[in-house]
């Protein structure tokens, strides 16, 4: 598999020359582009696949993944059904083609808005919305051979109407789908989770695509606790945790992270016997009360909550049940430009997303996990 980016330009140029000649695309054209991957397809098999019927979705919204048509043909994000998919912009007729060995997982990412906003297609999809597109899917499960989906995707990429694809060669030609990825604890002494598929971190562990990519690229810790890398560290001890155990651990860590990074979370004060004495709606309200007893500050209060030690004679705890009920109701969303220090308050995730040319789900994830959006904006829930 080609891993040197210097190979991409001449291969992409060759693909564009084939498109420019406007000839009928044959198996020879496809094989020429993918020869460095060691992949090829016969004209007979290509013709047979071209006779297959597409599954067509004309009216698309977020509920499409719940429909019988979607579930009966593609299943959920655990089903390994290979094939290609084609998005067509209704107004302009522009097209995008892609492929996957797990079609449902890939398509759910587009529909839920978890894919990174790169290239031409995804920003247009998020900007104009699902209803601006038609979607058709070709399932290749019957008579499937390894990498068949790549060969068929390449066949379509060599046709000029697929002008929403930035590159005219399949992504796997640069090794994008075969890199091992690892999740370690903070000092990389323990291996917690690994996969050769990036989408496993996104769908299985619930980590937003952009945040995962940022942490992987910059080395920044996720939730201030975990490190993502593509390097296997031999000295790290394998925690041998099940997927379910990792998911539960991360859910708890996200809640703790949210509690420690918001001043609006409710707090309970208890006496030495565990009886509730006071309930406050926010850290600020609790500190105002504690300051009537003695000098108090947020840093010490948060430290005492985490260590479960007394503060001015009280056991301080988060009112977790109330936090969970408020988790998706915010309040207000603060966006700070870390370069200019300009601050804007929005009344919803959607309003903030429109301002930042993103999606509400993306803005929510960045706010919940304390990451810098587009290397410029700090987003928090007030």
Does 45 lie in the same domain as 123? yes
Top pLDDT among 80 and 173 is at 80
Residue 205 domain-assigned (yes or no) = yes
Domain-embedded: residue 259: no
pLDDT for residue 281 is more than 90: no
- Pick from 93-97, 336-340, 366-370 the range whose average pLDDT is largest: 93-97
pLDDT in tens, 96-108: 999 998 899 899 9
Q: How many CB atoms lie within 10 A of CB 382?
A: 13
> With 80 as the cut, is the pLDDT of residue 173 above it?
no
- Cα 59 to Cα 73: distance, rounded to the nearest angstrom: 17
Q: To 5 degrees, how large is the angle CA 276–CA 279–CA 282? A: 145
Q: Tell me the pLDDT tens digit for each residue of 283-292.
A: 888 999 999 9
List 89's β-bridge partners, or say none.
133
Helices 209-218, 360-369: axis angle to 10 degrees equals 50
Q: How far apart are CA 240 and CA 255, in angstroms?
A: 23
Q: Would 324 be classed as within a structural domain?
A: no
Which pTM value belongs to this model? 0.50
Residue 115: CB atoms within 10 A of its CB come to: 19
* Number of compact structural domains in the chain: 4
Do both 193 and 167 map to the same domain?
no
Q: Which residue has the higher pLDDT, 167 or 122?
A: 122
Same domain flag for 33 and 102 = yes
Same domain, 287 and 370: no
Mean of pLDDT values over 201-216: 81
Q: What is the mean pLDDT of residues 252-261?
A: 74
Residue 11 inside a domain? The answer is yes
Q: Is residue 260 part of a domain?
A: no
Q: Are residues 275 and 247 in the same domain?
A: no
Name the residue range of residue 337's domain. Answer: 333-381
Closest CA to 198 of 171, 180, 214: 180
Question: What pLDDT, on the 0 to 100 scale, is given for residue 187?
Answer: 92
The pLDDT mean for the chain works out to 84
pLDDT at 170: 85
pLDDT at residue 205 in the model = 86
- Asked if residue 325 is part of any domain, the answer here is no
pLDDT score recorded for residue 177 = 42
Q: What is the pLDDT of residue 119?
A: 78
32-88 per-position pLDDT tens digit? 998 877 789 999 999 999 999 999 999 899 999 999 999 999 988 777 899 999 999
Q: Mark whether 142 and 276 lie in a shared domain.
A: no
Q: Is residue 102 part of a domain?
A: yes
Same domain, 81 and 44: yes
Q: In the chain, what is the greatest distance between 2 CA atoms, to the nearest angstrom?
A: 84
pLDDT at residue 111, rounded to an integer: 92
pLDDT of the residue at 161: 92
Write down which residue in 295, 318, 341 finishes a domain: 318
- 382 vs 251, higher pLDDT: 251
274 and 299, same domain (yes or no): yes
* Residue 321 binned pLDDT confidence (cut-offs 50, 70, 90): low
As beta bridge partners, residue 99 has 84
On whether both 143 and 37 belong to a single domain, the answer is: yes
Is residue 312 domain-resident? yes
Q: Do 150 and 99 have their domain in common?
A: yes
pLDDT of residue 8: 58
pLDDT category at 263 given cuts 50, 70, 90 is low
Dihedral sign for Cα atoms in the order 172, 178, 183, 186: negative
Three-state SS string across the chain, please? Answer: CCCCHHHHHHHHHHHHHHHHHCCCCCHHHHHHHCHHHCCCCCHHHHHHHHCCCCEEECCCCHHHHHCHHHHHHHCCCCCCCCEEEEEEECCCCCEEEEEECCHHHHHHHHHHCCCCCCCCHHHHHHHHCHHHEEEEEEECCCCCCCCHHHHHHHHHHCCCCCCCCCCCCCHHHHCCCCCCEEEEECCCCEEEEEECCHHHHHHHCCCCHHHHHHHHHHCCCECCCEEEECCCCCCCEECCCCHHHHHHHHHHHHHHHHHHCCCCCCEEEECCCCCEEEEECCHHHHHHHHCCCCCCCHHHHHHHHHHCCCECCEEEEECHHHHHHHCCCCCCEEEEECCCCCEEEECCHHHHHHHCCCCHHHHHHHHHHCCEECCCEEEEEC
Average pLDDT over residues 208-232: 85
Q: Is 342 exposed, middle or buried (0-12, 13-18, 19+ CB in 10 A)?
A: exposed
Both 56 and 160 in one domain: the answer is yes
Say if residue 46 is in the same domain as residue 95: yes
């Amino acid at each position: 598999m080609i891993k040197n980016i210097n190979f991409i330009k001449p291969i992409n140029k060759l693909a564009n020359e084939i498109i420019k000649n406007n000839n009928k695309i044959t198996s020879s054209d496809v094989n020429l582009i993918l020869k460095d991957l060691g992949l090829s397809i016969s004209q007979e098999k290509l013709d047979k696949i071209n006779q297959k019927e597409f599954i067509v979705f004309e009216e698309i919204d977020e509920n499409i993944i719940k429909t019988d048509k979607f579930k009966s043909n593609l299943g959920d994000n655990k089903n390994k059904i290979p094939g290609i998919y084609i998005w067509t912009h209704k107004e302009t007729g522009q097209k995008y083609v892609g492929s996957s060995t797990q079609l449902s997982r890939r398509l759910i990412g587009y529909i839920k808005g978890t894919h990174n906003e790169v290239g031409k297609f995804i920003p247009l999809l998020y900007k104009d919305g699902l209803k601006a597109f038609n979607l058709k899917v070709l399932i290749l499960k019957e008579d499937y051979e390894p990498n068949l989906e790549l060969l068929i995707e390449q066949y379509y990429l060599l046709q000029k109407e697929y002008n929403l694809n930035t590159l005219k060669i399949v992504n796997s030609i640069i090794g994008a789908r075969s890199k091992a990825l690892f999740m370690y604890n903070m000092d990389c002494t323990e291996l917690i989770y690994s996969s050769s598929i990036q989408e496993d971190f996104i769908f299985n562990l619930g980590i937003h695509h952009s945040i995962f990519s940022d942490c992987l690229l910059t080395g920044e810790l996720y939730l201030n606790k975990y490190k993502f890398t593509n390097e296997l560290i031999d000295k790290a001890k394998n925690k041998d945790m099940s997927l379910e155990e990792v998911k539960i651990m991360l859910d708890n860590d996200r809640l703790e992270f949210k509690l420690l990074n918001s001043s609006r979370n409710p707090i309970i004060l208890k006496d030495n016997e565990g009886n509730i004495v006071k309930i406050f709606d926010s850290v600020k309200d609790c500190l105002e009360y504690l300051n009537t007893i003695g000098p108090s500050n947020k840093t010490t209060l948060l430290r005492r909550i985490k260590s479960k030690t007394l503060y001015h004679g009280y056991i301080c705890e988060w009112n977790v049940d109330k936090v969970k009920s408020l988790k998706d109701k915010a309040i207000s969303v603060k966006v700070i430009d870390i370069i200019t220090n300009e601050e804007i308050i929005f009344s919803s995730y959607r309003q903030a997303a429109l301002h930042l040319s993103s999606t509400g789900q993306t803005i929510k994830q960045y706010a919940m996990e304390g990451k810098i959006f587009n290397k410029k904006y700090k987003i928090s829930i007030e």
